Amino acid sequence: MKMDETKGRLYSGAGFGFLHTILMAFSMIVPAFYFSSLDISIAVYGFLIVIGDVISFFMKPVIGYLTDKYGERKFLIGLTFFFFFSLFLIGLTKNVIIITLLKIVSGIASAILFVIIIIYGLRTVRERPDSKVGTFGATKNLGWVLGLLMPGFVIDRLGIMSAFYLVLVIGILWLVYMFRATKKYERVKKIKVRPSLLFIKKIPLLVIYKSMDLAVFTAFLFFFTRYALQSLGMSRGIVSIIVVIETIGFSFCQYIVGRVSNKPRRKYWVPLCILSHIVGILIMVYAKTLIEYSIAGLFMGIAGGFIDIWLFSRISESVKKYDKGVFYGTFGWSYDLATIIGGQIPVLFVSIGLNVFASMLVFPGVMLIGYLLSKKEE
């Protein structure tokens, strides 16, 4: 294994991830602003959030396996185009049926692309992975900061359509960069791979941890955005700043924890993740001021940094190079489940007259149960 390939994949993959998270943030927050302006009900709103992830759930393990055989390049290029172009087209219509179809396409492409970028960037990482995982994740996730910050200010000044045109420009630049950067790692011939199904035993706990962690972020992003705009009367720019604080905490925590983490120290990261989520959610439930909402988001972001270092370092060490596609593809169920659960549990709480933010305590609660059960089995 040449170190040049490991570094090349790690850094270019982090760059792809940075651009992807910018547009992922756009795909979450811009449609949220757009749907609010169309007066779509909360039930339809929740459905549009999760529909693409339901379909991508079944596709990820298959596509992950195909990357093990054929490489990632063609999948990266094709899915990038479908993701940003279908997202751009959403802004050209007010027809709910067409919006739904485009949301399905962009959601599927984005969800699968997210996992393939991880496969591409971390495939050759194995020894002492903590700092590499921290650098990769921190760089990649900084895209959330720009992606969540830009739409509010751009839309407030130039209108909603300006954000959709910005998606188109970023997408084209990303596609050109990806086409050139991946050329040196293009697979000429397919590789014979026979993935062992023994990895299935490792998946459930990892999926529980990551899906519940991301469900907190999903619920915070979607429902705080809606609540802040419609009930608190905040501007889109202020909403974006509060959400960005969460992502800064996430990225900063990944980088710092990656620098101090090693195999013995990893045992602390899952409990710290759960505790940080609970503190953040409790602050959120009782928050009255901008500072309190910001602190709540910061704690939730820090929680995500802890769990990512634990997860991806563990996977990098224990999974073989040409099994990582199918492994990450299956582990990628976490991201679909997070969007589905994070988008629907708060809707359920609202329908029975309970606090939408209190519903988020369910997620670290499930993580805690999974953690305690795993300790009993050790």
Amino acid identity for residue 5 in this structure:
E
CB 9 within 8 A of CB 126: no
Q: What pLDDT does residue 334 have? A: 82
The span from the CA of 175 to the CA of 16, in Å, is: 9
Question: Region 298-326: what's the mean pLDDT?
Answer: 92
Confidence check: pLDDT of 1 > 50:
no
For 247, list phi and psi in degrees, rounded to 5: -70, -30
**Which secondary-structure segment (H or E) carries 324?**
helix 324-331
CA distances from 269 to 133, 309, 319 (A): 14, 8, 20
The residue ranking higher by pLDDT, 166 or 37, is 166
Mean pLDDT over residues 35-39, rounded? 59
Interatomic CA distance for residues 151 and 167, integer angstroms: 10
Report the predicted TM-score, pTM, of the whole model to 2 decimal places: 0.83
105, pLDDT greater than 70: yes
**97: part of which helix (H) or strand (E)?**
helix 96-122
**pLDDT at 112 > cutoff 60:** yes
Tell me the C-alpha to C-alpha distance, in Å, between residue 89 and each of 33, 81, 147, 236: 15, 12, 18, 22
Type of residue at 333: W
Nearest to 35 by CA among 106, 100, 107: 100
Cα-only R_g, the chain: 20
Q: What is the pLDDT of residues 41-70, one digit of tens each?
A: 555 655 655 666 667 777 888 888 888 888
76 versus 43: the higher-pLDDT residue is 76
Each residue's pLDDT tens digit, 142-196: 998 888 778 767 777 787 788 888 999 999 999 999 999 998 887 766 666 565 5
pLDDT at residue number 188: 62
What pLDDT shows up at residue 45?
A: 57
**CB-count exposure of residue 267 (10 Å: 0-12, 13-18, 19+):** exposed
Mean pLDDT of 360-372: 91
pLDDT of 201: 66
Q: What is the pLDDT of residues 194-227, one digit of tens each?
A: 655 555 667 888 888 998 998 888 788 777 777 7
CA nearest 258: which of 312, 203, 335? 312
Mean of per-residue pLDDT scores for the chain: 83
